[in-house]
A = this chain, B = another copy of it.
Amino acid sequence: MKKPQAFTVHDIARMAGVSAMTVSRALNNPERVSAGTLLKVREVVRQTGFVPNGIAGGLRSSRAKLVAAVLPTLTGAVFQETVRSLNQALDERGYQLMIGQSGYDASREDVLLDAIIRRRPDGIVLTGIMHSAEGRRRLLAAGIPVVETWDLTPTPIDMLVGFSHERIGETVCHFLYSRGYRHPLLLSADDERARRRMDGFRRMAQVLGLTAEIPTQLVPAPTTLGSGRSGLIEALATHPETDALFCSSDMLALGVLIEAQTRGLAVPEQLGVVGLGDLEFAANLQPALTSVRIDGTRIGRMAAQFIVDRAEGRAVSEPIVDIGFEIIERASA
């Protein structure tokens, strides 16, 4: 079925008694049109409810005013801060954000990437780094500015705003050790970044002389409060000596907190709990949750800045940024 294009600039031009070009100017550069003409055109536009076809305009002027973001999941609360600030920063600069969900699956990611590149956005923001060689090549071939985020790699495709997951693991391990915990357990989803945090954690455990292997309790993604509760139950069943948990999300940690309370386990005395993400609710829990804070707002803002600078022909002087992280010490560990 052919979709009827309600009105075109030519229709509006005819109705207003001017040329199509004048309508285009009245809409995009009103200062270059006489007051009378402007009034006439605007009146017709108002009456018809005409909105120009940006697809056609963008094809001609090769300005899409569109940025695409690729997220593993729309449900994941961790990225929301990044997406919100990305959206806002782009919006302020007149760009629109399009969101694609890759779903933690590499093959889906290639398909999604194809759909995105077809639309020739002014930039692409990836959550995580692009591993598929095919994906990297297409991105490069398309010549679209790319910002990889939420991770670090020595070989980014283009630009990068991230932090080291290994270092988070190391830091949390050291933190728990310094608090006196000697039997930490890792409660985590099984994605690649989580695995690197766990690697870092284990490396530091060795350095600190914790002889026992650090046990892991894996939960399916996305992490939920429910899996936090059941995760703690299973963890304690298999490793009753456990005295601290590093959870791969705050939701998971909340589940642990609730299950601990239900079982009469004192936090932080009998069980230390550390979350990841420092979501709004972390500070307001009882006991307040110690969590790893990542400045998602800053990631989103910088990514937007990078893309827009590039899209508008400005060079980005420092295109690779490690924004770090911070352990927010509260009552739970």
Binding site for B on A (CB under 8 A): 1-7, 48-59, 62, 64-66, 74-75, 77, 80, 83-84, 87, 91, 96-101, 114-120, 122, 137-138, 140-143, 224-226, 229, 251, 254-255, 258, 261-262, 280-281, 283-286, 311-313
Q: Is the CB of B280 within 8 A of A224?
A: yes
With contact pairs A97-B99, A141-B51 given, residues A226 and B284 touching in the complex (Cβ less than 8 Å): yes
In the complex, chain B residues whose CB is within 8 Å of the CB of A251: 281
B280, A51: Cβ atoms closer than 8 Å: no
A277 to chain B, nearest CB (A): 13
| In the complex, residue of chain B having the shortest beta-carbon distance to the beta carbon of A94 | B115
- By a CB distance below 8 angstroms, the chain B residues around A143 are 3-6
- Contact in complex: B80, A284 (CB < 8 Å): no
Contacts of A226 on B, CB cut-off 8 Å? Answer: 280-281, 283-284
Shortest Cβ distance from A262 into B: residue: B286
Known: A55-B120, A229-B284, A255-B281. 11 other contacts (CB 8 A): A5-B143, A7-B141, A49-B137, A51-B138, A74-B80, A99-B99, A224-B280, A224-B284, A225-B285, A251-B281, A261-B286
Min distance, Cβ A265 to any Cβ of chain B, angstroms = 13
Residue of B nearest to A280 (CB): B224
Q: Closest approach, in angstroms, between the C-beta of A146 and any C-beta of chain B? A: 13
Tell me, in angstroms, the Cα distance from A251 to B57 when the chains sit together: 44
Question: CB-CB < 8 A to A281: which residues of B?
Answer: 224-226, 251, 254-255
Give complex CA distance A193, B255 in Å: 31
Measured between beta carbons, the chain B residues less than 8 angstroms from A118 are 51-55, 57
Do residues B80 and A84 form an inter-chain contact, with CB atoms below 8 A?
no
A229 cross-chain contacts in B, Cβ below 8 A: 284
Which among B7, B141, B283 is the interface contact of A50 at CB below 8 angstroms?
A: B141
Q: How far is the CA of A3 from the CA of B137 in the complex (A)?
A: 18
Q: Do A96 and B115 touch across chains, with their CB atoms under 8 A apart? A: yes
**In the complex, what residues of B have CB within 8 A of residue A5's CB?**
62, 143
State A206–B115 Cα separation when bound (angstroms). 55
> A56 → chain B, closest Cβ, in Å?
5
Closest 7 pairs (CB-CB, A-B)? A49-B141, A1-B313, A54-B118, A225-B281, A51-B117, A98-B98, A49-B137
* Structural contact, B87 and A83, CB atoms closer than 8 A: no
Kindly state the separation between the CA atoms of A142 and B8 in the bound complex, as whole angstroms.
11
Contacts of A137 on B, CB cut-off 8 Å? 49
List, in ascending order, chain B residues with CB within 8 A of A2's CB.
62
> Chain B contacts of A141 at CB under 8 A?
6-7, 48-51
A4 to B62, CA, bound (A): 9
Closest to A63 in B: B3
Q: How close is A15's CB to chain B, nearest CB, in angstroms?
A: 13
* Minimum distance in angstroms from A301 CB to a CB of chain B: 15
Q: Which residues of the partner chain B approach A87 to less than 8 Å between Cβ atoms?
A: 74, 101
- Bound together, the chains give a CA A311 to CA B116 distance in angstroms of 20
